[in-house]
Structure 1
Amino acid sequence: MRTHFSTGASDQMPQTYIKRILDARVYDVARESPLQEAALLTARLANTVWLKREDLQPVFSFKLRGAYNKMQRLSQAQRDAGVVAASAGNHAQGLAMAAQRLNVKAVIVMPRTTPQIKVDAVRNWGARVVLHGDSFEEAATKAQSFVDDKGMVYVHPFDDPDVIAGQGTVAMEIVRQRQEPLDAIFVPVGGGGLLAGVAAYIRYVWPQTKIIGVEPEDAACLKLALERGRRVTLPEVGLFAEGCAVAQIGKEPFRIIRDTVDEVITANTDEMCAAIKDIFEDTRSIAEPAGALALAGMKKYVARDGLKGQHLLAIVSGANTNFDRLRYISERTEIGEKREAVISVRIPEEPGSFRRFCSALGRRNITEFNYRFSDPQQALVFVGLSVTPGGDDLEKLLAELREGGYECEDLSDNEMAKLHVRYMVGGRAPAEVDNEAVYRVEFPERPGALLKFLSSLGQKWNISMFHYRNHGSAYGRILVGVQVARGERAQFRAVLDGVGYPYREETDNVAYKLYLGKQ
């Protein structure tokens, strides 16, 4: 969806915000965040990529700017009444810090889905936290009750001119730091406060610069509003990028955005995860999903239009994410970068078929292998493997496998497969599986190591269970079940000794007996 900067009466609108932004009081608490060139991304995307590091603010988010600017403009009577806000976390932290600095009582209503790291941070700034509902809208309704019942002042996270002006100081710094106009600026969108402030300032100072908003694919309230020409409320929003999980774009932000923004792009979960990794590799900092959203949009924009040689900037808007989410983010990153594919393949249920299938894959790096015996004739394996991004590498592989007689299915874009099925492949051994011995094996994480292991087993023993997942470490780990008669166990262990990889038998492990062995 493209919109264009209008030249009618609304030309006055950015000018009024220029004064608001220049007069904004933010630097009592906020710092001028650095503008950093991302060297690795610059080389990979063939465009000069700049990151505006708002993740380095005292509360690890740009939201401090708008909250403090609003608080500065309250009367003494309003401050005495106290302030209340609804927030998924970053605005809450900004307002809590501002309230502490100005010695004002603050109540923050947060959705129950808010990461604990944000809840704890708000409490550490001295604000009272009330957890209510599962979305921003439910939290906002609860916050309004504090206004109605206790006379507190509601500080909106985005739908307020003073908040928008405070966020607009990000653009003021970009212009001062960069000096020469950029080709495009990418801004994350939740309720629209940051995009509105940045767009108002940049459109006035650098009219030739494209301003592109980026929304989560499952919370694209601005994109829908632009398509329909009016604000609409999404029936539900995704919560992965909880900092942008807003069902309706703000009224005042939308008034500004529709006349100043060139385009809105959406990004999915995998693309955000990939962008988190990109930011980490260039900065050694971990952005939250909403914080990496703008970069995810930039990468799609560059790939779609085939851009080269341009100066592009993404605002890294925040770094408040729970540590335990990193495992999920890491799992989804390779698929988000189009560097990993997930496929399902049928192979003959016979000794040696694993080895032949791995040979058919060639020197490709296998990232995941899940299998459990279920049928005497055919084996169904769940496979993750590295592919070359940006081309037809996966399509060629699938064609080669089908020509070789394998029935296969691409599951790379299947959300259920990636979220659930990959972890559920397995279960108890069926009645046909006799004499199953189970081993954990470690091997050096390099192409060909897995094939070497399978080739060493030969075709004497049938593999009845197999699980492997690359976790990015120096050594890969396999859990393998093999049908080995009791009298042949010593012979089988001799084969494993010959392979040279460390291993440990787990046939008597209680977890195996409870969940994987025969009933």
Structure 2
Amino acid sequence: MVSQELDYFRAIIQANMEPLAKVTEVSEMAELSARLGNHVWLKREDQQPVYSFKLRGAFHKLSKLPKGSDVVTASAGNHAQGVALSASFLGHKATIVMPVTTPEIKVSAVRALGGEVVLHGHHFDAAKAHALALTEQRNGVFVPPFDDPDVIIGQGTVARELMQQLNDLDAVFIPVGGGGLLAGMAVYIKSLRPDIKVIGVEADESACLKAALEAGKPVELDRVGSFADGVAVKIIGTETFRLAQKFCDEVVTVSGDEICAAMQDIFVSTRAIAEPSGALSTAGLKKWCQQSGVKGLNVAAILSGANLNFDRLRYVAERTALGEKNEALLAVTIKEEKGSFKQFCASLGGRAITEFNYRYAGPGEAQIFVGIALRQGQQELDELKAVLTENGYTFCDLSDNELAKLHIRYMVGGKAPAQLHERLLRFEFPEYPGALARFLDTLGSNWNITLFHYRNHGGSVGNVLAAFAIEPSDYDVFNEHLNRLGYNVQDETNNPCFTQFLTTQGQKLSEAKAANQ
């Protein structure tokens, strides 16, 4: 080991987290252990005073500064609370720059911990730029959220405790955003026990470490998702990547639905409610065990945070069944005649229907949107598809269709009464009070909106589904308009949900043969 990594190892051993950061417990996840055939343990960083491991790095960084220092950072999440509490405890002055889109619950939490909050910009990059400018104006100290040796050392104390609490581990799963926790834990674990696998876990929609490993250097993602906002980082840190590249054995990526299912697993075992990024490593642990087929190992994940807006639980509960493959969403064509729904239910073999959406649209065939409960996951879904095919039903599996899960299952209405040249688009924009009105103002009134669906999930990003009546000759002008808006936009015009449930135009389900082929 080169001296630089040895210095990290020694510094983590010597780092004093007392009396602010506490030694957190390790909980056994008995139900998940039985299901996976491995002994699963959970390091409970939700037990920190700010409900997140971020306190460790902030406290260690600030403990190195002279008392009364002027510290500045930019954060809309757990790092902000860690810096505010650490500064208050150590006698520093803390200024936290947060985007104006930050939920009030987080702003209030930082203020309650003694931090001065400055609201600036509509996204993190603008807040960070302002924080750096304030740092220079005040001749202060900027506290990075992850790419800093002292922060990395502080986060590494999670591994120090874990190794003292469990001395017979085979693999440790660590969530990755900017890489501070992974870097600190990996260098400590591999220095002490190189035989233990260190596995980083990222959200599919913000996999900056995976991208960096493939490129051989940190690269900036075009965009990141918002569900697991605690790890929504576009580019991994330079120093954190150097350490991860050397000490991380592999990286697992997981979907939002898989994270929701892991949140349920954590609740069942501990009665703790993790935030999405807090359950990330548990989701990765589950996926790795299931895909590798390994049994009898001792494996650990990090519950890295529990700062969750309560109203987001509705969304989590809705997506959990899909994440566990305990529910299927299907678009099915049935005959438009008496008794056809009863006949369809009989073909399900006693399986429970979780929802059924239908509106009369004329004689002939009817297209239904149906949710079906499953007990044996993908295997049972494959069996169900075979039964439906044998019974002559044409269907499309929408279980992995984001448009179906996010919008279609909650919409009312039906198809347009006449054929229109429509473009269907899915937008994302920063969520805050008045954000929807601002979105509509920005969108403008040059185009006729023929469909609109918005649902507030309590997150930091708003989701809108909108259709526009546009002649093909105007597509170029419309596309230029979209590019100027600066929103994340996904064109869903060819999505089967649109063609089957919302428009008279395009491919019919009976012609599509759907996804059961």
TMscore range, shorter length: 0.7 to 0.9
Which ranges in structure 2 are unaligned for 5 or more consecutive residues? 418-517
**Shift in Å, 1:391:** 4.1
Residue of structure 2 in register with 1:170 after alignment: 158
The residue that corresponds to 1:99 in the other structure is 87
Alignment equivalent of 1:49, drawn from 36, 40, 55: 40
One-letter code of the match for 2:352? N
**Aligned mate of 2:362, from 366, 375, 390:** 375
Deviation at 1:380, TM superposition (A): 1.2
Is 1:155 paired with 2:133? Answer: no
Change (3 A) 1:31 1:124: same
Report the RMSD for the aligned CA atoms in angstroms.
1.7
Aligned partners of 1:372 and 1:429 also within 8 Å: no
With over 3 angstroms needed to count, the CA separation of the structure-2 counterparts of 1:341 and 1:428, relative to structure 1, is: closer
State yes or no: 1:88 paired with 2:73. no
**Hey, what does 1:472 align to over in structure 2?**
none
Letter in 1 for 2:155: Q
State the secondary structure of the residue aligned to 1:372. coil
Unaligned ranges ≥5, structure 1: 1-9, 431-519
1:387 aligns with 2:374: yes
* Aligned counterpart, 2:405: 418
Match of 1:121 in 2: 109
Task: State whether structure 2 residue 31 is matched by structure 1 residue 40.
Answer: yes
CA distance in 1, matches of 2:112, 2:182: 29
1:350 and 2:341 matched: no
User: How far does residue 112 in structure 1 lie from its aligned partner after superposition?
Assistant: 4.2
Q: Structure 1's 183 and 111: CA in aligned 2 closer, same or farther, altered over 3 A?
A: farther
**1:72 maps to 2:59:** no
Cα 1:282–1:255 shift into 2, 3 Å: same
- Asked if the contact 1:273–1:332 (Cα under 8 Å) also holds between the matched residues in 2, the reply is yes
Judging changes above 3 Å, is the alpha-carbon distance between structure 1 residues 103 and 382 closer, same or farther for their aligned structure 2 residues?
same
Is the alpha carbon distance of 1:183 and 1:115 closer, same or farther for their aligned partners in structure 2, counting shifts above 3 Å? farther
Aligned to 1:205: 192
- Aligned partner of 2:302 among 315, 322, 329: 315
Aligned to 2:221: 234
Partner of 1:187: 174
Q: Which residue in the other structure is 2:6 paired with?
A: 15
Secondary structure of the residue that 2:224 maps to in structure 1? coil
Contact 1:89 1:119 in 2 (8 A): no
Question: Is residue 126 of structure 2 the alignment partner of residue 138 of structure 1?
Answer: yes
Which residue of structure 2 aligns with residue 453 of structure 1?
A: none
Per the alignment, residue 409 of structure 1 pairs with 396
SS at match of 1:44: helix
Query: Superposition pairs for residues 178-327 of structure 1, below 5 Å?
Result: 178-180=166-168, 182-327=169-314
Q: Would the aligned equivalents of 1:344 and 1:381 in 2 still touch at CA under 8 Å?
A: yes
Matched, 1:58 2:49: yes
**Count of aligned pairs:** 418
The percent of aligned pairs where both chains have the same amino acid is: 55
Paired letter, 1:70: K
**Does the CA contact (< 8 Å) of 2:324 and 2:377 recur in 1?**
no
How far apart are residue 427 of structure 1 and its match?
5.1
CA distance in 2, matches of 1:89, 1:407: 46
CA distance in 2, matches of 1:158, 1:61: 14
The structural deviation recorded for 1:423 is 0.8
Q: Deviation at 1:113?
A: 4.6
1:253-276 deviations in Å (ceiling 9; x for gaps): 111111000011111110110000
Q: Give distance in 2, aligned partners of 1:112 and 1:213.
A: 31
CA distance in 1, matches of 2:39, 2:376: 20
Tell me which moved more, 408-417 or 116-125. 116-125
Q: CA deviation at 1:136?
A: 3.4
Q: Distance in 1 between matches of 2:347 and 2:413?
A: 24
Question: In structure 2, what is the Cα distance between the partners aligned to 1:134 and 1:339?
Answer: 38
Q: For residue 156 of structure 1, what is the amino acid of its counterpart? A: P
- Residue range with higher mean Cα deviation, 95-104 or 60-69: 95-104
SS in 1 for 2:147: coil
> In the aligned structure 1, how far is the partner of 2:307 from the partner of 2:149?
25
Give distance in 1, aligned partners of 2:99 and 2:31.
Answer: 37
- 1:115 positional shift: 4.2
AA in 2 matched with 1:16:
D
Cα distance change of structure 1 residues 219 and 293 upon mapping to structure 2, 3 Å threshold: same
Q: Residues of 2 paired with 1:112 and 1:408: CA distance?
A: 45
Kept in 2, the 8 Å contact 1:117–1:321? The answer is: no
Deviations 1:312-343, CA, capped at 9 Å, x for gaps: 10000000010000000100000011111111
The offset of 1:13, in angstroms, is 3.5
Amino acid at match of 1:229: G
Once the two structures are superposed, residues 490-512 of structure 1 have per-residue CA deviations (whole angstroms, 9 ceiling, x without a partner) of xxxxxxxxxxxxxxxxxxxxxxx
Return closer, same or farther for 1:341/1:403 CA change in 2, 3 Å cut-off.
same
Find the aligned partners of 2:347 and 2:239 in 1 and give their Cα distance: 58
Aligned partners of 1:200, 1:115: CA distance in 2, in Å?
35
Deviation at 1:111, TM superposition (A): 3.4
**TM-score w.r.t. structure 1 length?**
0.78
Q: CA deviation at 1:116?
A: 3.8
Q: Which amino acid aligns with 2:79?
A: H
* Residues 188 and 213, structure 1, Cα contact 8 Å, conserved in 2: yes
2:98 is matched with which residue? 110
Whose radius of gyration is greater, 1 or 2?
Answer: 1
